[in-house]
Amino acid sequence: MNKQQKLDEIRQQILDNQVTPELAETATQLVFGSGNPDADIVFVGEAPGKNEDLKGEPFVGAAGKFLDEMLASVQLDRNDIYITNIVKYRPPNNRDPLPAEKKAFLPYLQAQLEVIQPKVLITLGRHSTNSFLPDLQISKDHGNPKRVKLAFRDDPKSGPQVLEVVILPLFHPAAALYNGGLRQTLLDDFLQIPAIIKKITAK
């Protein structure tokens, strides 16, 4: 089975297991993730908004357009990355995802990462950042890459799955979109991406 087929299976598991049935009820569809399953870089956002809910793809609205501009600023595009969210159904009225909703989707996000095996994980906003590194404060720690070993699923037979990645916490593009100061900070933080990739791939 190739990576895309494995990802398709995880998508189907979310549907079969009826994860967050209340959100599934109010959302148009599941927004699982898109991009290149062989990418070294995975971006993780918060939850789909209105446009994503209608299209079934992450980051296709205004925040996504800004993200595309930032990707272009470091000579990347959507084919070079994989992108997904913590919560995979749109919360009603774009409210913040609830702790229980984030928890319910975490095993599926971890399964996606286990398949893709990224070298760099770019967390967009506090919900995403704190799902991996609960003690970080996005206002203080944004733009500081951190090398971490993420321990996933502790299988009694094979033990914990460990993924070694560099996490780069960034402000959420939607938050930065209309705030000049944050916008420039996010643009500046983004410019670190090429150096991080170079360092990792040089090894």
Q: CA-to-CA distance for 58 and 73, rounded, in angstroms?
A: 20
Is position 35 an interface residue for ligand URA (rule: CB under 6 A)? no
Counting residues that bind ligand URA (by CB under 6 A) gives 11
* From 10, 63, 168, 193, residue interacting with ligand URA (rule: CB under 6 A): 63
Tell whether residue 47 is a contact of ligand URA (CB under 6 A).
yes
| Total residue count of the chain as it appears in this document | 203
Cβ neighbours around 78 below 10 Å, total: 19
According to the binding rule CB under 6 A, does residue 49 interact with ligand URA? Answer: yes
For 60, phi and psi rounded to 5 degrees? -115, 0
CA distances from 7 to 30, 64, 85 (A): 14, 22, 14
Residue 33 touches ligand URA, criterion: CB under 6 A: no
- Closest residue to ligand URA, Cβ-based? 45
Contact segment (CB under 6 A) with ligand URA among 39-47, 99-107, 110-118, 141-149 equals 39-47
Quote the tokens at residue 29: 């569809």
Q: Is 174 in the site for ligand URA (CB under 6 A)?
A: yes
* Short-list 172, 153, 155, 145, CA closest to 86: 172
Least distance CB 136 / ligand URA (angstroms)? 17
Contact window for ligand URA (CB under 6 A) among 7-15, 46-54, 137-145, 155-163: 46-54
Q: Is 23 in the site for ligand URA (CB under 6 A)?
A: no
Is 176 a residue that touches ligand URA (CB under 6 A)? no
166 binds ligand URA (CB under 6 A): no
Contact residues for 18 (Cβ-Cβ < 8 A; gap 6+): 24
Q: Is 91 in the site for ligand URA (CB under 6 A)?
A: no
- CA dist., res. 142 & res. 146, Å (int): 10
Decide: 109 and 87 in contact? Cβ < 8 Å: no
| Site residues, ligand URA (CB under 6 A) | 45-49, 52, 58-59, 63, 85, 174
